[in-house]
């Protein structure tokens, strides 16, 4: 399973990248706003830093404008995935932009039928939002499992990029049901390494290293 960082915070991306398990980045207008940076400038900086796909979202709502914006975003770097919303205009733009050889991430997916349409439009990634479904008492993980089954039934190659991930359990459940990618805030990704028994065990080992005078270098 691939790990993407859901952020436009360059320092947080650098930090995760240095750990060696960052496969890509996703941004959206809210994350760009939070960064306080110019979209083209910050996206270029992220693309230079990360080898994998970097999603950058269009601002338009009409297909022709989305296509024009998508072409401009795609020129930033070879690893840009143009992000379009899951509307009929977004799907139309997806078809055109993928036809021109670009990666496209179709975002704001909340139903299996929306995901089916994105696959038919040739999307590279579909982004179902887990947390926002959980917020309204609908199990977001059921959506991931249903999309997985539908894509496998027909051999669609669109990658399921589980988004709106809020907890480490979301990550584990995505891995269990076969999401291709998760995108999560950097803190969630880093906290996957945490376990109190690891801390407790390490403290005991360190005490014995000290008491036993154990040295390697």
**Distance in Å, CB of 212 to ligand G3P, minimum:** 47
Q: Closest Cα partner for 97 from 152, 129, 60, 128?
A: 60
Strands (E), 16-158: 24-26, 54-57, 80-85, 103-109, 125-128
Please count the CA atoms within 13 angstroms of the CA of 70 that sit on its side-chain side.
31
- Mark out the alpha helices in 50-87 (DSSP H runs): 63-74
Q: How far is the CB of 7 from ligand G3P (least distance, A)?
A: 9
Phi, psi for 35 (deg, rounded to 5) = -70, -25
Using the minimum distance from each CB to ligand G3P, give the nearer residue, 178 or 185: 185
Provide, rounded to whole angstroms, the least separation between the CB of residue 175 and ligand G3P.
Answer: 17
Q: Which residues bind ligand G3P (CB under 6 A)?
A: 6, 26, 28, 129, 131-132, 163-164, 166, 183
How near is the Cβ of 131 to ligand G3P at its closest, in Å?
5
Please name every residue paired with 106 in a beta bridge, in sequence order, or none if there are none: 84, 126
83 labelled catalytic: yes
Nearer of residues 106 and 198 to ligand G3P, judged by Cβ? 106
In 77-91, which positions are buried (b, 16+ CB within 10 angstroms) versus exposed (e)? eebbbbbbbbbebbb
Work out how close the CB of 127 gets to ligand G3P at its nearest, in angstroms, rounded to a whole number: 7
Nearer to ligand G3P, 2 or 132 (CB): 132
State the residue number with the nearest CB to ligand G3P: 164
Nearer to ligand G3P, 102 or 164 (CB): 164
Distance of CA 58 to the CA centre of its chain: 16
When the beta carbons of 159 and 183 are compared against ligand G3P, the nearer one is 183
> Which residue is catalytic, options 2, 34, 72, 83?
83
Q: What are phi and psi of 124, to 5 degrees?
A: -75, -40
Residues 127, 11, 130, CA angle at the centre, nearest 5°? Answer: 20
Which residue is listed with tokens 């009409």? 62
What are the residue numbers of the active site? 83
């Amino acid at each position: 399973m691939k790990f993407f960082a859901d952020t436009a915070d360059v320092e947080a991306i650098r930090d995760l990248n240095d750990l060696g398990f960052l496969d890509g980045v996703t941004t959206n207008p809210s994350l760009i706003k939070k960064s306080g940076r110019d979209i083209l400038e910050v996206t270029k900086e992220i693309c230079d830093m990360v080898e994998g796909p970097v999603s950058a979202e269009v601002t338009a709502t009409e297909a022709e404008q989305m296509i024009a914006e998508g072409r401009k975003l795609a020129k930033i770097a070879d690893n840009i995935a143009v992000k379009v919303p899951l509307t009929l205009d977004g799907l139309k733009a997806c078809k055109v932009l993928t036809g021109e050889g670009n990666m496209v991430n179709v975002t704001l997916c909340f139903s299996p039928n929306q995901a089916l349409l994105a696959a038919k439009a040739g999307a590279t990634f579909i982004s179902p939002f887990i947390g926002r479904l959980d917020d309204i008492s609908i199990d977001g993980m059921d959506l991931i499992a249903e999309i997985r089954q539908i894509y496998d039934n027909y051999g669609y190659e669109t990658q399921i990029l589980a988004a709106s991930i809020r907890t480490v359990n979301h990550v584990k459940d995505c891995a269990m049901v076969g999401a291709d990618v998760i995108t999560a805030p950097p803190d969630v990704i880093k906290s996957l390494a945490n376990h109190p028994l690891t801390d407790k065990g390490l403290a005991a080992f360190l005490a014995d290293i000290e008491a036993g005078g154990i040295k390697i270098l």
